[in-house]
Amino acid sequence: MLACRIVSDEHAWPAPWTEAAAHDGALRAVAAEVGARGDVAAASAVHRTLRLAARVTGAPLALVSLASPDGVRSWRSDGVTPPLEPEGVGLADEVARRGEALIVPDLAASGRFAGHPWLAGDAAIGAFAGVPVTLSDGCVVGVVAVADRVAGELPDADGVDALRDVATALADGIERVDVEDALRQSRADVRRAVATDALTGLPNRRTLHDRLDAALALARRTGHGVALAVVEVRGLAEVRTRHGVWVADTLLTQVAAALETAARDHDLIARVGDDTFACVWQAVSENGAMVAAQRAARHVAGSYAAVDTVAPGSLELELEADVGVAVFPRDAEDAVGLLRAAAVAIERAKRDGGGVLRYDARD
């Protein structure tokens, strides 16, 4: 059974439809099957519901209403697009609040709905009978109704029961979409978890290899250069020892943001080790690679703020970056070779006191 929950939306969902916000994606998907002018697609759930409601009750007109952040959207079996019902005094609102059938044989004579926009104009209705579309978690997300253009007789008890069955079928369809959406989101979450670093949200080592292989394949076709830089953050090991993992992780997320700030839109920044990141720059010259590496080092170097959880208080901690650079095709011809060359360069940089260093085959 689906769990009914209240979720936030950039629009405030009007009562009594607040809980329907939890099913917003499914409701949008079902409503999207109907054309912009109210034309119904042959295979749409709304269209099927309209036809079925009219057939099982024998009523001249069927209506479907579904909750949305902007109010209740409604469709009619005659193709007329009804205006949004007024908030708080709509027929669908009343059905949702009651949680049961609403039958009004003479709308014009009912003070409760005086001034309702569905009572005026050439497409006005005079009688209404509606039942709630209730999901298995208890959320009411819409209404299935029949109507007549003039006041008069409406479905008997058997007709109302048949209308409830139609509403249940629509609810089942909405829940299927809801489950499918949840499954798609779950799969997307798994793919994202496999491809990204959990702490920083950056691509991980596996994604780096995939993207670097793709960049090199493109470079072989175009003749453009590709550069790889390995960036090791100096000072984090000491922070981890003195202030704990939580403080070090806080700084790592800030370093990740700094590297992203230094990157161009099509550059790749990945986390490949505890204190190590990698940058891939495409369509770059050898000189351009060194300029980019210096820029990355400058963005990392500086003062970072964190809170010490062991001895509570604000910390200002200085970090630096050592960077090893390797360029395709001069330094290596594949991803593994570039990574090895960049690692050699960064080790040489650290031996020489730190900073940015290009790979040299003589090392």
- With a CB cutoff of 8 Å and minimum separation 6, the contacts of 233 are 251, 252, 255, 275, 276, 277, 300, 319, 320, 321
Domain for residue 199, yes or no? no
Domain final position from 158, 192, 226: 192
Domain for residue 11, yes or no? no
HSE, side-chain direction, 13 A CA sphere, residue 8: 1
248 and 123 share one domain: no
Domain for residue 12, yes or no? no
Which pLDDT does position 194 carry in this prediction?
84
Q: Which two tokens stand for residue 178?
A: 């809801």
Which pLDDT does position 11 carry in this prediction?
55
118 and 210 share one domain: no
Q: Which residues pair with 102 in a beta bridge?
A: 130
Which pLDDT does position 7 carry in this prediction?
37
Kindly provide the residue ranges of all beta strands, DSSP E only, lying in 149-237, ordered along the sequence: 226-234
85, 97 contact by CB (below 8 A): no
290 and 226 share one domain: yes
d(C-alpha 144, C-alpha 50), whole Å = 8
Residue bearing tokens 């920044």: 269
pLDDT in tens, 182-231: 778 778 777 778 889 999 999 999 999 999 999 999 999 999 899 999 99
Q: What is the CATH number of the domain that holds 139?
A: 3.30.450.40
Which pLDDT does position 122 carry in this prediction?
83
105 and 157 share one domain: yes
H-state helical runs in 75-153: 91-98
Which pLDDT does position 14 carry in this prediction?
81
Query: Model pTM?
Result: 0.59
184 and 37 share one domain: yes
Nearest Cα to 191, choosing from 206, 176, 181?
A: 206
300 and 344 share one domain: yes
Which pLDDT does position 41 carry in this prediction?
41
134 and 213 share one domain: no
Domain for residue 268, yes or no? yes
Domain final position from 155, 170, 192: 192
Domain for residue 60, yes or no? yes
154 and 217 share one domain: no
User: Domains in the chain: how many in total?
Assistant: 2
User: Could you tell me the maximum CA-CA distance found in the chain, to the nearest angstrom?
Assistant: 96
Domain for residue 363, yes or no? no
246 and 321 share one domain: yes
Domain for residue 200, yes or no? no
41 and 152 share one domain: yes
Residue-number span of the structural domain to which 48 is assigned? 18-192
d(C-alpha 145, C-alpha 159), whole Å = 11
284 and 166 share one domain: no
Domain final position from 192, 215, 234: 192
Which pLDDT does position 34 carry in this prediction?
52
Which pLDDT does position 247 carry in this prediction?
92
35 and 75 share one domain: yes
Nearest Cα to 125, choosing from 96, 100, 101, 154?
A: 154
Q: What is the CATH number of the domain that holds 314?
A: 3.30.70.270
Name residues of the chain where pLDDT drops below 70.
1-11, 33-43, 309-312, 363
Domain for residue 236, yes or no? yes
